[in-house]
Every structure is written in C-alpha cells, then in structure tokens.
A and B are shown apart, each in its own frame.
Chain A
Amino acid sequence: MATSWPDAICAHFRRVGIRQVGYVPDAGHSRLIALCQKDPQIIDVVLTTEEEGVGLVAGAALGGQHAALLMQSSGVGNCVNMFSLLRNCGFPCIVLVTMRGEFGEFNPWQVPMGAITEEVLRLCGFLTYRVESADAVDEIVGAGCDMAFTGNLAVAILLSQRLIGPKQWTR
C-alpha cells in the first residue's frame, strides 16, 4: 500500500527529530494528528487556539527540542501578533497549514481568511510553499523542515484544499 501524504509528513518529522507537535483538532490533519499521537518520539499538545502553539514552539526550542504546528488556514489569523516571537528571537518553526476557503469550499465564511493566508504568513516573516498534489508533499515538506531547522527559519507549507479534498457536507 502506498503511503499517504500525512505519512510522508510524519516521516519527515521523525527524520528531523521533531519532538513536540501542537495542533487544534482539524479534519484535514486528522490522520497526521493520529500518527503524531501514537509516535513515542512525539509529545502531542492539543491547543485551545493556534496562537498557543507559537509559544509552545519557542519554549520547545529554548529547551533544545524541535517542534511543529498543524493548523487550518483560519488558525493562521489567530497567531499574527504571537508570530513576532519567532521573528524577534529567530526561533525555527515549521507550520503545516490545511487550506480552507478555496477549491470546492462549501462555506463562504472560510473564504476571507483562506484568501489571505499565504500573504499573512509572508508578512509575518514566513517562507511559504504551496502543495497542490499528494506526490509533491514528500519533497516540499522535506525541504521545508530542513530549511527551518538548519537555518532557524519560520517555514509554512500550505496544503491546498484540492489536495485535502473539500470538507464533506452531508444533508
């Protein structure tokens, strides 16, 4: 069985030695979250808001551990001022963003934040890379993780809604 794209991401987390993963529960990230939860190397930290995860990443780095954040595009908006912590201190950070408000989105309330997510991340000092297809995940996430942790950089990977699939909306 071919490995799925969340498995490819988790393999890079293991390869670069990520030890803490912060997240708010998310459908698009559900498999990756489950993989992190059962990985004995990883401490998974469920957050009340994505903003908390920025502090978590900084604290982990102070303690000598690499950390990653998983969030939806809406969560990026919750982090904006806290991202200044990364930039002020040069903390490495890898953020995996599942996109909402684009391809096939059923909920117009997701569109305003989804439409500006990449631009907001760039304004906050992130390098951003978009992934449109499952076969590109391995290469882009691998490069992103390496850049973050070898260069103390903030890197965000945007996983497009076309890759994840639109949220299933029944009834």
Chain B
Amino acid sequence: MLDRREFVQRLLVDRGDLLVVPGLGSATYDVAAAGDHPLNFYLWGAMGGTAMIALGLALARPDRRVVAIPGDGDMLMGLGSLATIGVKQPKNLVVVVLDNARYGETGMQPSHTDAGVDFERVALACRFRQACTVTRIEEVAESRKSLHTGEGPILINAKIKPEDVPRVLPLRDGHAIKQRFIAALNVA
C-alpha cells in the first residue's frame, strides 16, 4: 500500500498546467503538502462534489487536463457522479481516489471500500475509458502519465495506508481560492 504523501507528491511533480481539484479533508492536505499552487481548487466542504466540480471544469476547458482527487468517503458520497461522467465522456478528466478505506476526518471509521466495494469496477461499469488500482509506488510514473496524456475519463484508485499524517493547511477562504484559481487560469 502507498504512502499518501509520497504518492500525491510524485503524482503532481512537474505538473505543468494541470488543473487540480482535491476533495475535503486529507486529500486537500496531501495536495497542499505536495506544494501550494494557484491551480489547486482546495475543498474544505461540499463532500461528494469533488468529481462533479472537476467535470464542470473539464467541460469548460477541454484544452486543459483536469484531475479530481477525492478521498474514498467523498467518492462514495458522490458515486452517481461517476455515472454522470461516464455519460459525458470527457477526454481530459482523470479521477484519482485516495482510498484508505477509512473516514480519516472523523476518527478512521471503516468505509464501504473496507468491505470490498471497488471503485475500479464501478468506474468501468460507468463507462470510464480506463480504470486501475494502484498499490505500489513503482506505479506512480504510469499514473502521472495518465494524468497528462491518457484518454479520459480515467479513474485511478490509489490504495493508501490508513495512517494519520500531519495536517498541511492551505488557503481556507473560498472566495480567495476561487479568485486565485480563475486569475491563474486566465493568464496561463
């Protein structure tokens, strides 16, 4: 299983003009720990909405690569959005689920994936073009390549260790996060 910080850091290294939407909780902290960036739309709430925000963005900007990074609890809450993405078939969208099979923010209670619910198979059933499960850090280069050049929609289920890591807290003001993102996207 993966070290979440190492995986996200290596996934986003030399990220170029990638647009990144991390989900609330640890996913947002992991993306912040990999290096603050104006093209991160950090979420601190809106649980279940991460993949849909990324879809709206991917449809609006088909010229750019978009990655949603929800945790497993967030993805489970918005499971229907995988079906919605499957209908629209955005070629520029990748969903990377950080799956520790736990609700990390609320005390590490087991999630549905702990009981065997499998995002890779759900995504394929929802007409994602590609889906895979990553368990070894050696696979991160392939995941990174998918982010930048793979034909979407793609889902990567990253099996991370259920461990507590120090919080890295980015911007929290929603207006500031939005305005910074829009300003950076308009110049880039």
Contacts and interface: CB of A to CB of B under 8 A. Distances in A.
Interface of A: 19-20, 43, 45-49, 51-65, 67, 81-82, 84-85, 88-91
Contacts, number: 120
Nearest to B186: A64
A62 B174 contact: no
Contacts of B47: 81
B175 A60 contact: no
Interface of B: 19, 21, 41, 44-61, 78, 80-81, 83-84, 87-88, 174-175, 177-178, 181-182, 185-186
Given A52-B84, A54-B52, A62-B181, 10 more contacts: A43-B88, A45-B55, A51-B49, A54-B49, A56-B56, A60-B56, A61-B182, A62-B53, A63-B58, A64-B60
B125 to A, nearest CB: 14
A52 B186 contact: no
A89 B48 contact: no
A59 B41 CA distance: 9
B56 A57 contact: yes
Given A60-B60, A62-B182, A55 B52 contact: yes
Given A55-B52, A84-B46, A85-B49, A63 B60 contact: yes
A82 B174 CA distance: 14
A67 B56 CA distance: 9
Given A20-B56, A65-B60, A88-B174, A59 B21 contact: yes
Contacts of B50: 55
Given A88-B45, A89-B177, A89-B178, A55 B81 contact: yes
Contact of B174 (A45, A51, A61, A90): A90
B53 A64 contact: no
Given A51-B49, A84-B45, A85-B46, A56 B185 contact: no
Contacts of B185: 62-64
A55 B174 contact: no
Contacts of A46: 84, 87
Nearest to B175: A90
Q: Name the residue among A64, A88, A90 with the largest chain B CB count within 10 angstroms.
A: A88
18 contacts: A43-B88, A46-B87, A47-B80, A48-B84, A49-B80, A52-B49, A52-B78, A55-B46, A56-B52, A56-B56, A61-B182, A62-B178, A62-B181, A64-B186, A67-B56, A82-B48, A85-B49, A90-B178
A91 B61 CA distance: 17
Contact of B80 (A20, A52, A63): A52
A143 to B, nearest CB: 25
Contacts of A85: 45-46, 49, 53, 174
Contacts of A45: 55, 59, 84, 87-88
Nearest to A47: B84
A65 B61 CA distance: 9
Nearest to A85: B46
A63 B84 contact: no
Nearest to B57: A59
Contacts of B49: 51-52, 54-55, 58, 82, 85
